[in-house]
Structure 1
Amino acid sequence: MLFASTMTVMSGAIIAPALPGISRHFPDQPQVLIQLILTIPALMITLFSPLMGYLADRFGRKKLLLMMLFIYGFAGVAGFFIDRVDLLLSSRAFMGIAVAGILSISTTLVGDYFDGHERVRFLGLQSSCMALGGVVFINLGGILSDWSWRGPFLLYLTGVLLLPYALAVLQEPKNTGITSSGISDAPVTVDYWRTGLAYFIAMISMMMFYMFPAQLPFLLSQSGEISGLLIGIALSMAALTASIVAFGYGYYKPFLSVMTIYILGFLLAAAGFLVVGLTTSYAMAIVGAAISGLGLGAFMPNTTTWLMRITPQRVRGRVFGGFTSTFFFGQFVSPVVVAPALIWLDSLRNVYTAMAILCCLLAAALLILSNTYLRADSQL
């Protein structure tokens, strides 16, 4: 389950260092289209995650997860052989559908297999492994992109390699809503207001986090030609610090509420964006990315913990399908939002500075909500 979770981050992180090389290989294509090669899986995740959650609740988790691992591996590695942008985008779209199933089901299984503090600890471990996988695979992608822009696509074969192990060790959980008609017909209540807010926070945090793999390679390249390895190192710093914060989630969560973690996270993210926006130094850009990673790293385990507590088990697959959808919608729209902002603000550095201001505004809004409408969640 932990390794499957890392594969969702791999869907984009692996090829991030290769973006400048892909852009040079297709010089007649606009930069935003090249960036969509990175983020088109996120659009498919957004569209198909609710369906995957429904199918997981209706027909069970294990079979669907195995099917998605198979599609992930073959659709991902297809990019190594393709030499047309439209076909490359198509293969990335199929891989995104697979990621929708992998992340929705693996997160749902955490709720099925674990309870209480053990669940909180495992959610932190899951998010940590996702972020740490980003560190490892971004750097592997950077090394392979120095050989060829096609090289990073070979890493997607891990989906096929994981398949027999998943078949052997995973078991279908009991009481998922398909065990008896009595349980399936029992009414359930979903708190749409709090669930919707959790979705929004997940979306905006992913949009911010993905400014590093989608935009930082181009920002660093403005200072001159830079190797894929150095780009990979810079990108991996946000993922590394995010993995550390996520890994420790189970240790500091008992002392901090869900709302407090969100507020502190946005403030740290703001500090990191501000550093990146104001510096022209490669080293300081790494520092800024690391600081933002410290802030954004707790957002996924924090949101999943919150949703686990307010969601009935029988509809957990559907709720986490929606969570996966909005989470990765933020990834998809990140370059789409930045493109007009870049025209308006004139430079990427100004965009990062503007993002710092937005983080501060969101922190202030959550502080107000935590003392009014979300007072109960301030104790969770």
Structure 2
Amino acid sequence: MEKVAAFWRDLTLKPQGFTIVVAAFLPIIAIVAMGPAVPTMIEHFANDPDARGKVPAMIGAPGLAMAILAPFAGMMVDRFGRRPILLVSTLFYAIFGAAPLLLDSLDQIYASRLLLGVAEAGILTVVNTLIGDYWEDRARKNWLFLQGLLGPFIAAIFSLIVGYASKAQWNGVFYVYLVALPIFVAMLLFLFEPKREVAPLAQVAAPPATAFPWASALQVAAVTLFASMLYYVFIINGALVFKEVGVTEPVRYAALIFVPSLFILAGAAIFRLLAMRANLLQLGVFMLLLGAGLTGMGLATTVPVMIACLIVQQTAAGMTVPTLIGWTQGKFGFAHRGRAMGIWTGAFFLGQSQSPRLVHALDASQGSMQNAFLTIGLVGLAGATVALALLASGRKSA
């Protein structure tokens, strides 16, 4: 109980923290919320011969826009400030997210989803920047840990809401995006623009103008792209790999992955335990678990073995995002943090868009989805080996 009390005391600026944690899930809703609505939308647009292709493409459209625009959003954040861009982006998120309630054309809906991605690029870049601005390292890691704990519950709640909304009407899913409006009000009430002269909030002195550290930015982009492509392998292709060990019914698949998915919470806990340790250790551990889980699923011949390996992979998934964000935030000072988080966001969502292409290519060339998982898992283990070898050689940071 004493540790819990100490953790709670470390969570300074609580109204700001909870507002940012909830706002950080707005871009995730764009993917999570749409999944259960896909069959309903395909059925509604049955007269469109391309509906089976257009509807899934519509889901991924915001991620594509984020991958392209987030680095530019980061530049604007550093130049024009955090709070104004976040407020405008959140308001546009509600408008563009709910726009399909008034549309009845897949092409128009796709366009609205691209505009939604523009808003999401601003939201995710700013909230991750503010976590670095508002808090010093220890408290920053605590808020990232709390974000990791809340993620599975928020995703589950929205999936449930979407299921009922889609049953009520074909485009009912888009009402979910109006949740941005109360979050917008909370931002107006609680969030403040961090000033360079009060940078001690994050124990960063107001530095003179310096050149942007492109070497660090390129390192962040490369590692994040690599990790993101591994991270999305199971999220996008999980049902297909389970099918190869005999799980063909969607209901059975959903039931089998329920308990393993809870191990995302274990991953968040491991992140908190390692949060004050060397960055290379954090990166090495989550890549080791992620690579081991994917490799195991590639080799599994029975459902129980597949589930055991999925537990390992989901534990790694719980570490991935907070580890990458915390690592990136610590590499950049106030003057460059917005641009850095924009580059991080762009790299992460570029990985989201390219991961299915990589998996599909490996599946086609190697003859099965399990072989694709095996190959990618081994690549993940290689990445972990590099990080841990650098750590063992005496390097403390990356």
- Asked if TM exceeds 0.5, the reply is yes
Q: State whether structure 2 residue 274 is matched by structure 1 residue 252.
A: yes
Match of 1:53 in 2: 74
Q: State whether structure 2 residue 155 is matched by structure 1 residue 122.
A: no
Q: Aligned to 1:376, what secondary structure does the other structure show?
A: coil
How many residue pairs get aligned? The number is: 370
- Is residue 279–residue 396 contact of structure 2 (8 Å, CA) maintained in 1? no
1:261-297 superposed Cα distances (whole Å, 9 cap, x missing partner)? 2222122112322444455777765554432121132
Match of 2:234 in 1: 212
Q: CA deviation at 1:177?
A: 11
- Within 2, Cα distance between the matches of 1:371 and 1:142? 49
Q: State whether structure 2 residue 329 is matched by structure 1 residue 308.
A: yes
- Is residue 77–residue 153 contact of structure 1 (8 Å, CA) maintained in 2? yes
Q: Which runs of 5+ in 2 are unaligned?
A: 1-19, 200-204
- Is residue 272–residue 288 contact of structure 1 (8 Å, CA) maintained in 2? yes
Match of 1:202 in 2: 224
- Within 2, Cα distance between the matches of 1:302 and 1:120? 9
Q: CA deviation at 1:237?
A: 6.0
What is the identity, as a one-letter code, of the residue corresponding to 1:337? Answer: L
Deviates more, 1:102-111 or 1:329-338: 329-338
Assess, with a 3 A threshold, how the Cα gap between structure 1 residues 289 and 66 changes in structure 2: closer, same or farther: farther
Q: State whether structure 2 residue 187 is matched by structure 1 residue 166.
A: yes
- Is residue 266–residue 296 contact of structure 1 (8 Å, CA) maintained in 2? no
- Within 1, Cα distance between the matches of 2:38 and 2:371? 22
- Within 2, Cα distance between the matches of 1:371 and 1:196? 23
**With structure 1 as the length reference, what TM-score do the two structures score?**
0.83
Q: CA deviation at 1:29?
A: 3.0
- Within 2, Cα distance between the matches of 1:195 and 1:132? 32
1:365 alignment partner, one of 374, 383, 386: 386
- Within 2, Cα distance between the matches of 1:13 and 1:171? 29
Match of 1:376 in 2: 396
User: Highest Rg: 1 or 2?
Assistant: 2
Match of 1:3 in 2: 22
What fraction of aligned residue pairs are identical, expressed as a percent? Answer: 24
- Is residue 19–residue 217 contact of structure 1 (8 Å, CA) maintained in 2? no
Match of 2:98 in 1: 77
Q: Which runs of 5+ in 1 are unaligned?
A: none
Assess, with a 3 A threshold, how the Cα gap between structure 1 residues 325 and 165 changes in structure 2: closer, same or farther: same
- Is residue 196–residue 206 contact of structure 2 (8 Å, CA) maintained in 1? no
- Within 2, Cα distance between the matches of 1:278 and 1:55? 46
Match of 1:226 in 2: 250
1:172-205 superposed Cα distances (whole Å, 9 cap, x missing partner)? 1111899xxxx99933254433432222222222
Q: CA deviation at 1:316?
A: 0.8
What is the identity, as a one-letter code, of the residue corresponding to 2:284? Answer: I
Deviates more, 1:109-118 or 1:332-341: 332-341
- Within 2, Cα distance between the matches of 1:33 and 1:176? 49
What is the identity, as a one-letter code, of the residue corresponding to 1:9? Answer: I
Match of 2:56 in 1: 35
1:19-64 superposed Cα distances (whole Å, 9 cap, x missing partner)? 4555565573386654332222111111111222122222221121
